[in-house]
Each structure stands twice: as C-alpha cells, then as structure tokens.
Chain A
Amino acid sequence: MKYRHLILSNLFRKKIRTGLTAGSFAVALFLFGILAVVDGAFQQGVDVAGADRLVVLNRVSIIQPLPLAYRDRLARIPGVTQVTFANWFGGVYQDERNFFPQFAIDRETYRQMFPEFVIPDDQWQAFLADREGAIVGEALAERFKWKVGDRIPIKGTIFPGTWEFNLRGVYRGQRVQDDTTQFWFRWDYLDERKAFGKGLVGWYTVRVANPDDAVRLVRTIDEQFANSPAETRTDTEKAFAASFVKQMGNIQLLLLSIGSVVFFTLLLVTGNTMAIAVRERTRELAVLKAVGFSDGFVLALVIVEAVVVAAVGGGVGLGLAKLFTLRGDPTGGLLPFFYLTPEAIVTGGTLAMAVGLLAGLLPAVSAMRLRVVDALRRV
C-alpha cells in the first residue's frame, strides 16, 4: 500500500498522544471484553438451553418441590417423549466460599436428557452401581484437583449432615459454553437419607417431540396439574434460564449502560484528539491538496488514521481481556462460564472501529472542506 508511510508517519508524529489515544481504546475494549464475559456468564444458561426441553416447576416458587408421581403423568402427555427430574442440594464443600451447584439427579434418565454432557460409559456404569456415586464436570474436578475414586464429603445446608460421595466420573461439555462446574449424585440416595420431603423432587425436565409444539404443551402440562396441591409452572428451558438470570436484576441493561457510557466518552476523547491533530496539520493537508490529492483522499487519510489507532488499541484491549479470561473464573465458581467468545471479540473489534470512524469523521470532513488558499495563508 503506497500510502502506508504517509499514514504511519502521521501516527508516529506525536507518539505520546497516539499512545494515549490507543491506550484509551485498549482500556475501553478491555472493559468491554470483561463485561461481555460477565454478561456471557449470566446468559450462558439461556444460550445453551435446549429448544426441545421444557422445565416444570412448582407454581408457588422454585424452592417448592413437586411429587415424584408427576413423572409418569408427564410421560403420558402426548408430545412428551422423555422426562427426568432433579433436586437442588445446596451443600458446602470444606468452606462456604467453595460454591458450586449440586444436583440430585434421576440416574435412569438424566444422561439421555442432557446429551451435551459427555461421560465415558464405564464411568457412568460405575456411577449407576454405586449408591454414593457422584459425577462432576471437568472444570469442577480441575478446580479441586479431584480424581475418579476420590471420596468427597459435602456438608448439607438444606439436608442436614455430612454426605459422603465417591467420585465415579467426570463429564465434559460438547460446546465450550456448556457448564462443567456441576456436581451430580443420585436422587435415590438423597431420598433415602433425607429426613423430610420424601418422594418429592425439585423440578422436572421434559423433552417434546416437536419444539414448535412447545407452547401448546406448556399449557397442557399446567392444565393437567391445575387445582392440585402442587400446581405447576412450565416454561421452555430458555425462558426458565432467562427468568433465573432476571432474578439477579437486569444484568444486561446494567452492562449495556456501563458499556455505552465508556464508548461515548471514548468517542468524545478520540474525536477531540483527532480534531487537534487535524488542526495542527492544516497547512500540510493544504499542501497535499495543492499538489493534487483529492478532497476524498484527505477525508480518507484522516479517517484511516483514526481507525488504525482504534484497531490497534482495541486489539490490545481485547487481547488483554482474552488473556485475563484464560486464567478462568476469578470468582471461585460464581461465573462458571468465564469465556470471551469469538463473537464478543468480533463485536468489540467492530465497535472500536466504528468509534474510530465516527471520531475521525468530523475532523476528516473539516479537512476535506479545507480551502487550500485559506489554509496556506494561515501561519
């Protein structure tokens, strides 16, 4: 590109200024990257939710259980092809800060319902054969350096006592977004040992034959259990995950607000810097025009300079954010999916370039409109 030295020379004319402007982009895009990661962590459940799965809860609240007897009634509803259930355990491993989700699962159906979690057959069989068996996600196993065969004590907070489990397997996710921080054990073990609420489960997950039929089935299921002691509230898995996120407040709006303020400030700062840079070069731009460079070229030159600064700064910021996320979840389990997605990187890069373009636009237009005779007259 024959204009390369013209662009680069201008960028390096004021190294500190260019560095600080690029640094602003780097900081902003680093922040964007982290916000995107946090948002992704909260939205991960929504994103990976199965389109053909429904979640059936107690209508009163998520902590109210449902009878085990509902399993067969759900399975008989036309359009439902599979049913499984699980229970929240809420135990503590060694220290309360070591949070991770523990589910008592139906050993017969859970694996088929969630094929995105991949478990070696021999490990699954070992789990089935051991009443105190447990399966954990690979991120969780890595976090506590657990190996198959380890004995893991968990102190119950809802169900009192210390519960001991034998680690029989480690699952991995088929996709990078799949949550591999869960701890599963057998529901029949929980039901046998718990002192209250026997024969009750936390929630059901059902698979429907046709996802297009989901809305109708949601209604059918809830009508089935209407006016019973445990009425249900059924949702698609995606809607369930989304409502779960909403319970923590409108995270997306908060993140969007922070991001918008940062980018708007960046736009003002960069626009001002570019305006000063163009003003300082008025005479040079006039000379370029005098020797035959077109108005369009001068416009493009200023915009390209701004976009290059944005791209370099933004690239550094996103790179640092990526590096930061490579170290994994810094919250100790609160954000199991702590990952900067390629989509977020592309979005961030595009945003940086757009801000660079917008910031360069006004000074570039004024440079384009510059009258050579007026500019050369100025000292």
Chain B
Amino acid sequence: MDQERIRNFSIIAHIDHGKSTLADRILELTEAVSSREMREQVLDTMDLERERGITIKAQAVRVHWKGHELNLIDTPGHVDFTYEVSRSLQACEGALLVVDAAQGIEAQTLANAYLAIENDLEIVPVVNKIDLPQADPDGTAAELADLVGESPERVLRISAKTGEGVADVLDAVVERVPAPRGEPDAPARALVFDSSYDQYRGVVAFVRVVDGSFRRRERLRAMAAGTRFEAEELGFFSPTMRPTETLGTGEVGYVITGLKDVSRLRVGDTLTSEERPAEAPLPGYKDVKPMVFAGLYPTDSDDYPELRDALEKLKLNDAALFYEPETSQALGFGFRCGFLGLLHMEIVRERLEREFDLDLLVTAPNVAYRVETPTGETIEVHSPADMPAELERIEEPYINASIIVPKEYVGSVMELCNERRGRYGSLEYLSESRVHLTYELPLAEVVVDFYDQLKSRTRGYASFDYDMAGFREADLARVDILVGGEPVDALSLIVHRADAYERGRALVERLRDEIPRQMFDVAIQAAIGSRVIARETVKARRKDVLAKCYGGDITRKRKLLEKQKAGKRRMKQVGMVEVPQEAFLAVLNLGQEPRR
C-alpha cells in the first residue's frame, strides 16, 4: 500500500465509554466482519476482559475505507498498563478520543489524552452515546474541545450503538490523521507495541514498521534484548490472521517469531534486519518493573506444583509478571509475585483461580522499597520479611495521582489523600461542576484500599489515574507480629512509623480473636525491632476433658480425640502455638480492609 494512504490510529476512552462498540461498528462498516458473523466486541478476546470491560492485550486490525488502509490499534485501558498504552500510541499517528456524553471526561481519559499529546498524535475528539436521554453532547463537546485545543465544531458527535456518525469518524481519520512518516529505503526498524504467546507458534509480536520493510523468512534481531530469530510468518489481522510476504514502511502487523518466551521480546523493543541492521533503536524503550508485590500461596499445600506451572504459563503471555519461590513458615511454599499495579495483581489472581482452578491465599500487597544498608549498598526489597534490621535509609515509590471528581466531593477526596500521606499538587475546574485534583502519594498507601475508599467516599463518581513519580525517602518501620514469641513472617508489614501503632494494634486484636485457646498462655505481640508496640494474650484453657469414659463410651471418645488430632494437623504451627489457617486469612484480609 502506498504509504500516503495508510492511517494508523487508536481509540482512547474510559472504561464503558464505548471504545469496543465503536471498534465493532468500524469493522462492520468497513465490512471486515459481516454483522451476521460478528461477535460482540471482537477486539477483546479474553473472557476476563469482557467481564471487567477492560482490555489487557492490544491487537491491531486492518480495515479499508475509501481507498485507504486503516490500522486500528487497540490499547489497554488501565492505569497499570500505561507503558503498554504509550507504546501502542507510539505506533499511531492519530487517536480518537472518545468520551461518554453522559459522563464527561474521566481521569483515565485525561491521562491517556496527555499521553497521546506527548506522542504528538493528531487527536480526533468524539462524543459518544449522544442517543442516551441523559446525554449532554454540547457540554461534553466543550470540555473535550477545551482539553485538546480544538473548536467545539470539530468535535464529532456519534452513537456507536446505533451507528450514527461512525462513517464521519472514518472520514475524519482519513482527513485529519497524517500518513506515517518514515524512510522506505532506510535500514528496517519496527516498534514492538505488544506481544502475545501462542502455544504452537511461540511469541507473536505486534509491530509497527517505522522505516524500511520486512520480509518473510528474514533473520531479525530485537535491538534491546539482543534476541535473534527468523520471521516465520508476517501478516496482519483483518480481523483474523492474514499472512503476507512483506510488511512495508508505515504498516502495522504481526511477526511470528517462534520464540518460546515473551520475556525475550519485550514491548517497546525495536526489530531490525540482521542483514542490514539499523544503527539505533527507536526511542522510548523501558524495562517495566513490577512495583506491587504480594505472596501467593496455595490454600492446599499440595497444589504448589500446580501453582508453579500456572505462573509459568501466565508468564509466557505476561512479560511484566514477576515471580520467585518463597517459603513462609506460616503459609508454607508459595511465590512472591511482582505486578505492575493492583489491577494487574487482581487479573493474575483471577486468572490463576479461574483458568487454573487454584485456591489461593494472597498476602497483603506491598511495594518495592529501596534500602540503603550501613555498608552503603542499595538493595531493592520486595517483601517485609526481607527488610534488613539494620539500615541507613529507606525510599519508597511515589505516584502522581490524578483524580477527577464532582466538586461536592473535593473535600472528601482531599481528606482521603491527606490520611494517606498525600502531598497536594493542584486543583483545576474542568467545568463548572467537575474538578481535576492532583496529589503526590506513596504507592504503598494506594495499593491497599485507596481505590475502594475513593469510590465509596465519592459515591462512585471519582475517577483515578496515576503514574510513577520515583522514589522518596520515608520514615518507615517494619512491624513484626509475634505469636508466642515467634515472629510470623507472612504477617510482617512495612508501614509509616506514624501508623505503626494503630496497624499493629489492629492486627494483634484480630489475631487474639482468631487463635483458639491453647494449653498455655499465648502472647500476641506487634513489635518494631525488639520494641513491643502492642500486646494481647490468649489465655490458656483451664479445662479440657471428656467427662465420662466407660466401656460403652470408648469408641466414641477415641474417635473424638482422633478428630481433635486431625484438627491439630490442619493447624499451622508457630513455635508451640497452633494457629488455624483461617486466622491468617482473617488477618491478611484485615490488611486489605478499609482503615479509619
């Protein structure tokens, strides 16, 4: 295809603002899919995505419209995948910014719109759902025009549901989105903006060819990872896989690599030809690092091998997922897993439970800490249990939080942010009724229940997005929980020193209620180092006898004792103390419950 007739674009929208429906209509209108055969929302392939209304993995679909080749590149819709979004956007020259006429701009829309602007994309503003009775197309169009610096007349008004205005959207893509630049004769370079794993064909890379062109069977190299492979197949989606012989400058498609591991071909890497390699990779590659960590343990320790296999399989398709074996004396064998964020963690957990049928116990999440030891060494700590006792300083990750909320909730949101050690950034009115607030917050304060609290304190109206703001020194303490004098590794927490007492107390009280009385007094303590900050005692039982036992009772009594013994075996042993698994569960849940 003539480079001048190629248009690469994506759709930016908040969850439920109609991205998938619009994509469906575009495919229908361009006859890539006949409406009879059409599955709803063809771009979202995974069940889970469908249920959550979000997209985890991007794909690209090629359609034709009035003599042009249009590549619609799907972007992940959530904050945890900002980097992937930014790579997807880098593969485009334009973006449709879709906003629900009844809801207006949300934090996520804003974040992604800024990303698009940063990537120098032509933005086509679209107000969707104009057919809804509660729609305010004019108000929303004004907000949108203001955001992207266009006149309100240039804002398209459509209903993806009814199809009204969708043809105008395609016309606007052709007219407003520039054709891809790039040198057809230069050494080939393609941006990997997504990848997925197919069990038969290995890693499939989604690429945007920037310079030059690629041929089938060509030897290729990933410039950042150094991985070499042969392009077993090239092609594009329309919407199913269509193999081709070449992918030319400006085109979007896939490359089947035969690689067996997604980590060898990461999003953001640059592909080039071995024969005539480019000198420099495309800019912007980042090695995304997990920021949120949690221990994952099988509820039934016999399931450990299944959990290991399941994580291995997920990892094939999720380069950002990190895991390493971890042993907890309380919870047994499991894995310490690293995630991009909370949502990423939830998705992994749900997939493990749903697709692999595993029952999991997840410890309270924590963030990655940078610790400077007395010897001047800097280490990264992913688990409270690994936090060294002796240290010079700790740094924790901060985020720039962006929150959009109706103005009557500004007070509650500011209160929440202050409780969570937030530092106020800015306040800006998007319209008469809606406010955009920014705060700098420790990520650790966000991973627990911030989002739920934000939603509940704003009756669900607030929208929230964030990006990483780097590490800052913090006054943190590791709180250990000791049962009968023995620390329980899985329950250690890293908290801000000011919260240590309250958190320690809550944990200790909950454990006291959950640990059954034993044959001796059991002290339950929260401690920072050797200093006990909270203590409770589970008093010893004074009496535990089977009252009567004569000739006719012996069998029953024996069975009772055997049952009691079996019950003991199901308990986890902490020193001499028997702790039921439920106690750990209750306490771990406490770590995830709303705090006051």
Co-complex (A, B): no
User: Hey, which bits of chain A sit against chain B, CB under 8 A?
Assistant: none
